Amino acid sequence: MSRYQPIIDVLIESGNYDKVYFDHDHELKIPYRNIGYLKLNALQEQRGKDRKLQKKEADVCAIKDGKLKIIIEEEQHPTVNKVKNDIEIISKCRYLWIEEDEYPFDADCVLFILLFNNKNEIHEEVIENKGSLKQIVVCKKELFQEKYNQIW
């Protein structure tokens, strides 16, 4: 099974999004279920189409009404420092750039950091209103659907 398929399925089946973009997964048929697209992306603090503005690539992003609603980062080998670093970088970003399209973060944008193979026993947590993000949820990958359903 594709690495992101269960995550993308939750987003698509919710009916909450116009487009779902994913990166680093070439196993899914494109477009996946007529909503999911494999595209390189750039989370940025400033607007613009210059790749130098890129601060981070996201694994999965979902768009609604021309705004970025959800960002998903999957940490395959998480460490406390890696998770903290991702939160610091992403919370400062305000725009998603994908090829020729640019999307501002929605006021209710949520970041999920999904922990896979959590040998370091990083604790689950929820952080409210950090930077440009309404909420940050750090949890095991297996709990994504449950945590997503609690928010929406």
Tell me the CA end-to-end span of the chain in Å, nearest whole number.
26
Q: Is the pTM of this model over 0.75?
A: yes
Per-residue pLDDT tens for 130-151?
999 999 999 999 999 999 999 9
Per-residue pLDDT tens for 71-122?
999 998 999 999 999 999 999 999 999 988 999 999 999 999 999 988 778 8
CA distance 138 to 136: 7
